[in-house]
Amino acid sequence: MSLYKFESEDVLINRIKTHPGIKFVIHTSSVHYNDRVDQFGTPDGNVSLDELGTLKAFGLDYYAFITKDSGRVAWKTVSLGTFSGLNYGDVITSSLPLTASIQTEYFPEDDPRPHVASLKNVSNSYTILSNHYAFSSSLGDKDTQIVRLISFPSIFYGAYIKKGSVDLKFYHTGTLVGRLEDKDRNGNLVQTYGNTGSGSVAGVVYYNEGFILLTGSWDITTESTDTYEGSSFPRWVDFSCPDDGLGNFTHDSSYEINMSGTQFVPVITMLAHANKTDLNHSNNPTYISYGQTNDSSNPYQADTGSLGYYEKSDLKIKNVGKYAYTSDTGSFKKETYISKVAIYDDDKNLIGIAKLATPVRKRENDQFTFKLKMDI
């Protein structure tokens, strides 16, 4: 086996920018993420933060735990009284898996809204994109008007939400009654479909923070059999609302959220060279001609003697060159077929194998470079 060291110019590290698609479908009390169902113990519409959900599918019990010690650290679900009653060294458990999903909050007019208020400085900083981001202006006061805040954990979108990719659809009895699109790539969610409000801005997108704030309070349609929070007809502030505020599901309404995230994947590229006159010998038994010993059961039997056990030195290499005639009467040519490229660390531990779909013929005058790419 031949070992070659990667030179500095043979190893390249960069990152690939990707835009994975994100889709949420909401109906009654159900949320579906990218049309996935039955995620090994993870509820629909959620993603597992610790990838332990598969254990539950096989009937294995698991939980998170910490031990009470002088640091006096406990789970937030453990009350002070319960914690004080524990002895040092006692194990405090918590349930798993940890999951993440979208969250939607409705705020009637003049109601307290701490989560919206926390976005005041961020909102004003986005005004370079659009005046509709202003926390308080002639276009509305987000501290008092009716709004709906939809929050997306970053595990769904990565670094930030891709501009121009946000698309919200409001369905009633399976029929599209309204649609919002971020078509101008400035954060404004403009209504592009609906009986009323077409062309109006019904909300804004916080690309870096992962929020959508809906402010459109007009009736999208007056043909509705559902009751929403504070209204008999669907408004954009009712988007993603699974009930009427009293726990009664809006069975005839459904909602769809489409967007693209932005994720950066670190990639290492390695260039493995097969130079001329290199890699033209093989220890594979098929590399030598068959039947070169008297022992037919072991045609490659080694020589033995009183001084040792050693490989035969006069075995002929099989000539597999291509010739114009049926017999191999041409001059001998050493040829091998490269089927794998193995990668080793500094201590010669095997850390990866790249397999070729079709082995590559390597003659003495051939030179190849194999490009290996791996996410890190």
pLDDT tens, the chain, 376 aa long: 678 999 999 999 999 999 999 999 998 878 999 988 766 667 778 887 665 555 555 556 667 788 999 888 888 888 888 998 999 999 998 876 678 899 999 999 999 999 999 999 999 999 999 999 999 999 999 999 999 999 999 999 999 999 999 999 999 989 999 999 999 999 999 999 988 889 999 999 999 999 999 999 999 988 888 888 878 889 999 998 877 667 777 788 999 999 999 999 999 999 999 999 999 888 777 788 777 765 555 555 666 777 777 767 777 788 777 766 666 556 778 888 999 999 999 899 999 999 999 999 998 999 999 999 988 8
Is residue 273 domain-shared with residue 315, that is, in the same domain?
Answer: yes
Can you list the pairs that 67-75 forms with residues at least 24 positions away whose Cβ atoms lie under 8 Å? 67/91, 67/92, 68/92
Handedness of CA 156, 158, 159, 161 (dihedral sign): negative
Stated length of the chain: 376
**For residue 342, how far is the Cα from the chain centroid?**
27
Is residue 245 domain-shared with residue 201, that is, in the same domain?
Answer: yes
Is residue 330 domain-shared with residue 234, that is, in the same domain?
Answer: no
Among 264, 293, 311, give the residue marking a domain's end.
Answer: 264
Strands 308-310 and 303-305: antiparallel
Classify residue 3: in a domain, yes or no.
no
Is residue 231 domain-shared with residue 304, that is, in the same domain?
Answer: no
Is residue 28 domain-shared with residue 154, that is, in the same domain?
Answer: yes
Residues 6+ apart with CB under 8 A from 37: 44
> Which H or E run contains 190?
strand 188-193
Classify residue 337: in a domain, yes or no.
yes
Classify residue 8: in a domain, yes or no.
no
Among 81, 97, 113, give the residue marking a domain's end.
Answer: 97
Q: Which domain holds residue 278?
A: 267-375
Is residue 108 domain-shared with residue 90, that is, in the same domain?
Answer: no
Which tokens hold the place of 212?
A: 């959508």
Using CA atoms of 27, 28, 30, 33 in order, give the dihedral in degrees to the nearest 10: 20
Is residue 204 domain-shared with residue 332, that is, in the same domain?
Answer: no
Query: What total of structural domains would you count in the chain?
Result: 3
Classify residue 320: in a domain, yes or no.
yes
Which tokens hold the place of 38?
A: 């039955």
Which tokens hold the place of 347?
A: 């201590």
Classify residue 247: in a domain, yes or no.
yes
Which residue(s) pair with 354 in the sheet? 341
Q: With CA atoms as reference, report the closest residue to 86 among 103, 73, 105, 102.
A: 73
Classify residue 7: in a domain, yes or no.
no
Is residue 236 domain-shared with residue 305, that is, in the same domain?
Answer: no
Distance CA(262)–CA(246), nearest Å, equals 37
Is the whole model's pTM more than 0.85, yes or no? no
Is residue 194 domain-shared with residue 246, that is, in the same domain?
Answer: yes
Is residue 89 domain-shared with residue 113, that is, in the same domain?
Answer: no
